[in-house]
């Protein structure tokens, strides 16, 4: 049976998902999208062949609704949708912090809800999406969510009480790597390299390191030790990283992201 999926709120994540689903073999005719601005909706229609509809039309006609608005917009979107969503629809939230209880309270009693935290590497089919079931979501609903998000990368089921931590690690995670590349490229400039060359050296080093982390089966400590020669160059850099508290800074940074995700749970915090 054909399953219609609607993506409501087509910003960065709300575009990455249907585009990845189409790359993964989904039929554009089975995908509906909603946007606040008509020109954005038309852009997606011309780019992917998906069908723009209103939020209410999506709620009435799609088998699965994926809500990819900002957490702060989730309350008003649910107020708009709730009267139109039959209780047999699967509702998936992709928003940071928003709990399945938040959705269940605003939807018809018994509506199956799934919470997913993905990340922007969905754009290149390398997303990490963590998935948790709400009260009424069945194994089939989780499998369906995995089929959808599996089109753009890896999926992992987690208990919902780990979602805020996962948001800090993988939801926000790409930003930390981009930040590192940016900072290391600045270091290259300081050391006298042209920016474009510094960028290429760092990006290829990042790709090589990421591939080794994924494919070698080695612990990251071992991989780092293999680079760190006695009385060599790397240990001098590592000493500076430790002197500047980079490890502690990362731990504090991810804790702050986790805390903000918890804070967003109300769906109203600016």
Ligand X SMILES: NC(=O)C1=CN([C@@H]2O[C@H](COP(=O)(O)OP(=O)(O)OC[C@H]3O[C@@H](n4cnc5c(N)ncnc54)[C@H](OP(=O)(O)O)[C@@H]3O)[C@@H](O)[C@H]2O)C=CC1
- Residues binding ligand A1CAB (CB under 6 A): 96, 167, 171-172
- Residue of the chain from 6, 7, 13, 165 that contacts ligand X (CB under 6 A): 13
**Residue 173 interacting with ligand X (CB under 6 A):** no
Residue 9, binding choice from ligand A1CAB, ligand X, none, Cβ under 5 to 8 Å by partner class = ligand X
Nearest C-alpha neighbor of 92 from the set 62, 120, 124, 49: 62
Decide: 97 and 167 in contact? Cβ < 8 Å.
yes
Q: Rounded to an integer, what distance in angstroms lies between the CA atom of residue 56 and that of residue 1?
A: 23
Residue 61, binding choice from ligand X, ligand A1CAB, none, Cβ under 5 to 8 Å by partner class = none
Residue among 112 and 171 whose Cβ is closer to ligand A1CAB: 171
Minimum CB–partner distance for residue 173 and ligand A1CAB (Å): 8
Distance of CA 69 to the CA centre of its chain: 12
Residue among 15 and 104 whose Cβ is closer to ligand X: 15
Decide: 146 and 155 in contact? Cβ < 8 Å.
yes
Residue among 9 and 153 whose Cβ is closer to ligand X: 9
Tell me the pairing of strands 51-52 and 113-117: unpaired
Give the residue nearest to ligand A1CAB (CB). Answer: 171
Residue 100, binding choice from ligand X, ligand A1CAB, none, Cβ under 5 to 8 Å by partner class = none
Tokens of 175: 């930003």
Q: Which of residues 68-127 bind ligand X (CB under 6 A)?
A: 68-71, 73, 77, 94-96, 117-120
Tell me the pairing of strands 113-117 and 127-133: antiparallel
- Residue of the chain from 1, 25, 37, 161 that contacts ligand X (CB under 6 A): 37
Q: What contacts 251, CB < 8 A, 6 or more positions away?
A: none
Give the residue nearest to ligand X (CB). Answer: 11
Alpha helices, H only, the chain: 12-23, 38-48, 55-61, 71-81, 100-106, 139-150, 163-166, 173-190, 195-215, 220-227, 234-243, 246-263
Minimum CB–partner distance for residue 62 and ligand A1CAB (Å): 24
Minimum CB–partner distance for residue 154 and ligand A1CAB (Å): 16
Residue 55, binding choice from ligand A1CAB, ligand X, none, Cβ under 5 to 8 Å by partner class = ligand X
Distances (CA, A) of 142 to 104, 148, 150: 16, 10, 11
Stretch that binds ligand X, among 30-38, 104-112, 210-218, 231-239 (CB under 6 A): 30-38
């Amino acid at each position: 049976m054909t399953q219609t999926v609607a993506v409501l709120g087509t910003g960065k994540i709300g575009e990455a998902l249907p585009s990845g689903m189409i790359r993964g073999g989904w039929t554009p005719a089975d995908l509906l999208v909603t946007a606040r601005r008509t020109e954005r909706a038309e852009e997606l229609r011309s780019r992917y062949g998906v069908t723009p509809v209103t939020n209410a039309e999506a709620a009435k006609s799609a088998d699965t609704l994926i809500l990819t608005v900002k957490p702060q917009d989730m309350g008003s979107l649910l107020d708009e949708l709730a009267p139109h969503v039959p209780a047999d629809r699967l509702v998936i939230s992709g928003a940071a912090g928003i709990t399945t209880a938040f959705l269940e309270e605003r939807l018809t009693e018994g509506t199956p809800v799934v919470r997913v935290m993905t990340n922007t590497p969905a754009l290149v089919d390398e997303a990490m999406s963590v998935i948790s079931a709400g009260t009424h979501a069945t194994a089939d609903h989780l499998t369906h969510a995995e089929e959808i998000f599996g089109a753009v990368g890896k999926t992992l089921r987690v208990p919902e009480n780990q979602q805020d931590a996962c948001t800090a690690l993988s939801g926000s995670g790409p930003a930390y790597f981009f930040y590192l590349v940016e900072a290391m490229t600045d270091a290259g400039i300081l050391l006298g390299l042209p920016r474009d060359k510094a960028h290429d050296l760092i990006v290829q080093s990042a790709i090589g390191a990421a591939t080794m982390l994924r494919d070698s089966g080695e612990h990251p400590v071992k991989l780092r030790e293999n680079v760190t020669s006695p009385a060599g160059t790397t240990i001098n850099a590592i000493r500076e990283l430790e002197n500047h508290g980079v490890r502690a800074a990362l731990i504090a940074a991810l804790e702050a992201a986790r805390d903000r995700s918890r804070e967003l749970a109300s769906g109203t915090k600016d």
